[in-house]
Chain A
């Protein structure tokens, strides 16, 4: 008997467009593991993951992404938010660049000063509620 899949959403959305591949990513994230994807044919890596390789369109498989330290590549403090995030504003969005060159876009949740390009970021996880999970940055 198949177990029922857990209803999960990324970040602050309630996007219902969850595929089996994305569900596997979300379930790993629920276990505080960030997954990248690796092309089964040409080995190209993607973060965030893609089910199909951007280069050769072959299928990718999910593998745990193990880098945790990044540098801030760019940032914004969102004061006037889209309607769905109005209650959360202001919030800081940062693109972090890992030593491998892969990048990730997420909120910085513990910043008490102005963000600066080049500052050190640490990857972390948060269960926003019982269905919403996210990766995030800490400084």
Chain B
């Protein structure tokens, strides 16, 4: 029988255009608060140190570099790669090792350094996560995949673009209150709805940011948890899902099929449902992705996700708060770090440690992280439970 596993500490670098740092320094920024909390190198049995795309840096064997820079050069490590869901894929891999009894205490750290290349080059690299034979030759960029979903969704449900802009307004509202955020400023609905087009129907404010940053967590087996904290966050449920590689082969574009499958698996394992959630971190790489996530997670019926944003149910004082850290849109999206940034945020909210009361969610007992890779080829969903 698998051992219970908890998140006992977490760290997070400043997200942004970090020309003052590279991958290694970002990793140190994320690990330092964990070290300061007492999880020194000698307490860590093994690590998963990951990044999604080596093209951005040219660095091979990156987990070795990261381990060495953090003083963990003699501790077993590995890298996991699953595009934008690399962070929670790493957490899933580490959870399995701890639950199985291979290790007791593991550091899981994700990083991405994306701004040392131009935006056009970064867009090129990310488009290579599409099918290189059949999709890449037609210039289907990362936003283009989600624009294909948006076109279909807006047609099917006769939805105006303004609904998507309302999600962007919320993201920036909370990002402006998050000192770790890449673009911490408010935007108006008019600005968001009329921004320069990127991949129509998606515009600039529908798209997440090309961000440098790192985030990490320590997980521990139940019998070791008390050595580190009296406020652990239990990993209660994990669901993983997958969808077809080529977007034309999906059964639907108004949903991410793998996300629905992952959600069911996570809820079943945790023994909870959408109504039990106190907060949710969703993978809003694009505004349409957040809207679809509401529905894939069962927070709204298909086609009804817009009601959650229009009724402000997803604000911090609403019925089901979503992305009250700014999300990928305003906080930023350093690919390999994103899933662990979500985990960090849920632990912070459970502990009542949001920097600003105006984004602190009240009394979080159950939180969910929804982390999607590329356009849905891989999805990881975690349900966390407050342990005190």
Interface residues in chain A, defined as those with a beta carbon under 8 Å from any beta carbon in chain B = 9-13, 15, 17, 22, 48, 73-86, 88-89, 91, 93, 95, 103-107, 115-118, 134
Which residues of the partner chain B approach A103 to less than 8 Å between Cβ atoms?
A: 248-249
The answer to whether B137 touches A13 (Cβ under 8 A) is yes
Which residues of the partner chain B approach A11 to less than 8 Å between Cβ atoms?
A: 137-138
The answer to whether A106 touches B198 (Cβ under 8 A) is no
Which residues of the partner chain B approach A78 to less than 8 Å between Cβ atoms?
A: 139-141, 144, 147, 199
Which residue of B119, B132, B144 contacts A93 across the interface (Cβ within 8 Å)? B144
Which residue of B119, B138, B151 contacts A107 across the interface (Cβ within 8 Å)? B138
The answer to whether A12 touches B141 (Cβ under 8 A) is no
* Chain B, range 119-150, C-beta contacts under 8 Å to A: 119-121, 123-124, 126-127, 132-141, 143-144, 147-149
CA distance A125 to B39 in the complex (A): 61
The answer to whether B133 touches A82 (Cβ under 8 A) is no
The answer to whether B120 touches A83 (Cβ under 8 A) is yes
Which residues of the partner chain A approach B121 to less than 8 Å between Cβ atoms?
A: 83
B134 nearest in chain A by CB position: A48
B270 at interface by CB-CB < 8 Å = no
Describe B's contact surface by its main secondary structure: helix
Q: How many residues of B contact A (CB 8 A)?
A: 38
B253 at interface by CB-CB < 8 Å = yes
The answer to whether B197 touches A95 (Cβ under 8 A) is no
Which residues of the partner chain B approach A74 to less than 8 Å between Cβ atoms?
A: 148-149, 151-152, 155, 253
A91 nearest in chain B by CB position: B139
B247 at interface by CB-CB < 8 Å = yes
Which residues of the partner chain A approach B149 to less than 8 Å between Cβ atoms?
A: 74
3 A-B pairs with least C-beta separation: A11-B137, A85-B139, A13-B137
CA distance A78 to B151 in the complex (A): 13
Which residues of the partner chain B approach A12 to less than 8 Å between Cβ atoms?
A: 137-139
Nearest chain A CB to B208's CB is how many angstroms away?
A: 14
Which residues of the partner chain B approach A22 to less than 8 Å between Cβ atoms?
A: 133
B118 at interface by CB-CB < 8 Å = yes
Given contacts A10-B133, A22-B133, A105-B246, contact A81 B148 (CB under 8 A): no
The answer to whether B140 touches A105 (Cβ under 8 A) is yes
B146 nearest in chain A by CB position: A76
The answer to whether A79 touches B137 (Cβ under 8 A) is no
The proximity string for B residues 327-362 relative to A, scoring 1 for CB distances below 8 Å and 0 otherwise, is: 000000000000000000000000000000000000
28 contacts between A and B (CB under 8 A): A13-B136, A13-B137, A15-B132, A15-B133, A48-B133, A48-B134, A73-B253, A74-B253, A76-B199, A76-B200, A77-B199, A78-B147, A79-B196, A79-B197, A80-B143, A81-B120, A81-B139, A82-B123, A82-B127, A83-B118, A83-B123, A83-B124, A91-B139, A95-B148, A95-B247, A103-B249, A105-B247, A105-B248
Nearest chain A CB to B218's CB is how many angstroms away?
A: 38
The answer to whether A88 touches B200 (Cβ under 8 A) is no
Interface residues in chain B, defined as those with a beta carbon under 8 Å from any beta carbon in chain A = 118-121, 123-124, 126-127, 132-141, 143-144, 147-149, 151-152, 155-156, 196-201, 246-249, 253
CA distance A77 to B151 in the complex (A): 10
Which residues of the partner chain B approach A89 to less than 8 Å between Cβ atoms?
A: 139
The answer to whether B198 touches A84 (Cβ under 8 A) is no
CA distance A10 to B201 in the complex (A): 27
Which residue of B138, B148, B156, B199 contacts A80 across the interface (Cβ within 8 Å)? B199
The answer to whether B133 touches A17 (Cβ under 8 A) is yes
Which residue of A48, A86, A93, A117 contacts B152 across the interface (Cβ within 8 Å)? A117
CA distance A74 to B137 in the complex (A): 18
Nearest chain A CB to B94's CB is how many angstroms away?
A: 32
Which residues of the partner chain B approach A84 to less than 8 Å between Cβ atoms?
A: 124, 139
Query: Which of A17, A73, A81, A82 has the most C-beta atoms of chain B within 10 angstroms of its own C-beta?
Result: A82
Which residues of the partner chain A approach B156 to less than 8 Å between Cβ atoms?
A: 117
Which residue of A15, A80, A106 contacts B141 across the interface (Cβ within 8 Å)? A80
Which residues of the partner chain A approach B136 to less than 8 Å between Cβ atoms?
A: 13, 15
B153 nearest in chain A by CB position: A74
The answer to whether B152 touches A73 (Cβ under 8 A) is yes
Nearest chain A CB to B111's CB is how many angstroms away?
A: 23
| 4 further interface pairs, Cβ-Cβ under 8 Å (given A12-B137, A15-B137, A91-B139) | A74-B149, A83-B123, A105-B135, A116-B155
CA distance A33 to B208 in the complex (A): 40
CA distance A12 to B158 in the complex (A): 34
Which residues of the partner chain A approach B132 to less than 8 Å between Cβ atoms?
A: 15, 17
The answer to whether A82 touches B139 (Cβ under 8 A) is yes
The answer to whether A88 touches B199 (Cβ under 8 A) is no
The answer to whether B134 touches A105 (Cβ under 8 A) is yes
Nearest chain A CB to B181's CB is how many angstroms away?
A: 22
The answer to whether A95 touches B120 (Cβ under 8 A) is no
Which residues of the partner chain A approach B123 to less than 8 Å between Cβ atoms?
A: 80-83
